[in-house]
Amino acid sequence: MALTNDIIKQRLIEKFGEQLSNFSEPYGILTFEAPKELNLKVLNFLYDDEELKFRFMTDLTGVHYPSEAGRELAVVYHLHNMVDNIRIRFKVFTDINKLDVYTATGLFSAANWMERETYDFFGIKFVGHPNLKRILNVEEMDYFPLRKEFPLEDQTRIDKDDEMFGR
């Protein structure tokens, strides 16, 4: 029997019960939230289970939701089951003042650079990462540019007349 989103959801609820929340299927991809302490347990379960077999990490990234107090930063995991060609996505949320999230590098080597990128742009500290330093931006950068409180434009320019740029 082919693997479907309903079966995956059922298996996850059997294993983790009430701890997983906000199940939805935008664009047909099963999406849910997990507490950040459980991220490795969920990843391991999805990897090891003989039926689910989510053994390829497509993407790992961050999102900043400045309006949601206490859960401002999200880490998003995208996984792929290569055998049944099914994708899954889940998010863990963290407080902007407590940025520790367990690293997934032990399970997926692909997570290494993607976690460095997420650290580079959002400042999320991946506990246990072997080499957590900036990957894309200049090393002297002292802020995390994709957080919403920082404007996109370069703030060091002095020749800029806001009126002429329609701002």
Partner 1 sequence: MSRPVSYNLINKPLEADISIVNMPDGHQGEGFFATTLNSVIGLARKNSIWPLPFATSCCGIEFMATMGSHYDLARFGSERVGFSPRQCDLLMVMGTIAKKMGPVVKQVYLQMAEPRWVMAVGACASSGGIFDTYSVLQGIDQVIPVDVYVPGCPPRPEAIIDGVMRIQDLVGKESLRRRNGEQYKALLESYGIQ
Site residues (vs partner 1, CB under 8 A): 136-138, 141, 145, 150, 152-154, 156-157, 159-160
- In the complex, least distance from residue 105 CB atom to partner 1, rounded to whole angstroms: 24
Backbone angles phi, psi at 126, to 5 degrees: -90, 110
Residue 161 CB, shortest distance to partner 1, in Å, is 12
Cβ-based neighbours of 129, under 8 Å, separated by 6 or more: 103, 105, 112, 115, 116, 119
- Residue among 1 and 158 whose Cβ is closer to partner 1: 158
Count other Cβ atoms within 10 Å, centred on residue 103: 19
Q: Please state the closest distance from residue 152 (CB atom) to partner 1, in A.
A: 6
Between 24 and 137, CB nearer to partner 1: 137
Q: Which is nearer to partner 1, 64 or 87 (CB)?
A: 64
Of 95 and 153, CB closest to partner 1: 153
Alpha carbon distance 55, 71 (integer Å): 28
Per DSSP, 74 falls in state: E
